[in-house]
Amino acid sequence: MTGTITEAAGAADASAPRVREMSMQQAVNAALRTVLREDPRTLVFGEDVGALGGVFRVTDGLQEEFGAERVFDTPLAESAIIGMAVGLAMNGWRPIPELQFDGFAYPAVDQIVNQLARMNYRSRGAVPMPVTLRLPSFGGIQAPEHHGESLEALFAHVPGLKVCAPCDPQDAYRLLLQSVRCDDPVVYMEPKARYWDRRPVELAHDPGDMPVGRSRVLRRGRHATLVAWGAMVHRCLQAAEYAAEDGVELEVVDLRWLKPIDAEGLAASAARTRRAVVVHEAPLTAGLGAEVSALVTERAFGALAAPVERVAGFDVPYPAGPLEPQYLPTIDRILSAVQRTLEYKRP
C-alpha cells in the first residue's frame, strides 16, 4: 500500500501526467504534496501522520519528502493538536492538523468552537485562521465505537467555520486545495468508506471552476432530486440507477460544501424536478438535512409538488461494527422516500 500511494501522489510533479487513476486516499495525499510544495508555511501534523503515514496511510511518504519539521507526529491529545494549530496560525503558518477519527474530535470541540472559529472575529479580522482540519469521517467501515460519527451539523452550526465533504477522488483533491488556500478555518470531512474508491483525477494546481460554497449535479433527472454529501452521494447514485429501471429519473446533487450551503443551486434543482429527498448518515433530529430541507422549501416552495423528504440515521448513538448496515441509509429506504414524494397528493 505504501508504495502505491507514493507512486500515485508523485503525479503532482510537473513532469508527471496530469490525469491519473487513484483512490481518494491517494488523491488527498497528492493534494497535501501540492500544498506543501507551493507554500513553505504549510505544516501537516497529528497522531501517527509522520513515519507511519497515518492510520489510513493518507500522509504516507510526506515526512520522508518534506522532513520532520513540516510533517510530524503529536501526542494523543486532540485539544492540544487544535490549540497548537491555532497558535501556529496566529504566527503566520498554515497548519493542516489531522484528528485520527471523527469520534476523537469531541475532546477538541472547546478549542475548535472557542478559539479556532472565533479568533478572526475576535480580532476584527487582524488574525486570520488558515487552518484546515482533516477529519476522517462518517461510517461504512464497521469500526469500533467512537471510530465512526457524522458530526457535520455540529461544525456547520458554529459561526466562523467552513465545512466540506468530498465524495470522490477528484473532488477530494480539488476541495483540499480550496480549503488550504482559504484564510478561514475549514473542517475537511473525509468519508472513510470511500478512501479506496478509484477514479481518474486531474492533478491541476488550480481547483478551477467551482468556488467555495458551490454544489454540483452529478446526475440529471426530472422526477425528483436526491441531495447528499460524502459517502451517501454514491449510495444516491446507486438508488438512481435502480429507479431508472422503473422509468424514474432522479437528479443527484452532491452538496460538497456543508457550510456555506449552495442554497441557490439546491433550489434550482428542486424547482426543476419539483420534489426533493435529502440523505445523510447523522441522526435525523436536528441533522444538517433539516437545514437543507428548510432552504429548499424557502426558496422553491412555489415549485414543489410535495414536502421535502429526509432519509437519515436513527436517533441513537452511531453504532459500532456489524450494526452499522442497519443504521446507515439503505437504497431501499432512499427509494421508499422517493416513492412517498412521487405519490404525495396535496390535501
Instruction: Reply yes or no on whether 147 is catalytic.
Output: yes
Distance of CA 114 to the CA centre of its chain: 22
The Cα 234–Cα 341 span in angstroms is 21
Which grid cell sits at 4? Answer: 502505491
The Cα 176–Cα 187 span in angstroms is 10
Q: Are 254 and 218 in contact (CB under 8 A)?
A: yes
Q: Are 328 and 139 in contact (CB under 8 A)?
A: yes
Task: Give the sheet arrangement for strand 42-46, strand by strand.
Answer: 71-73, 42-46, 94-98, 132-137, 186-191, 162-164, 257-259
Question: Degrees (nearest 5) of the Cα angle 151, 157, 162?
Answer: 80
Q: One of 147, 157, 234, 280 is an active-site residue; which one?
A: 147
What's the per-residue H, E or C state across 182-198? CCCCEEEEEEHHHCCCE
Active site residues: 147
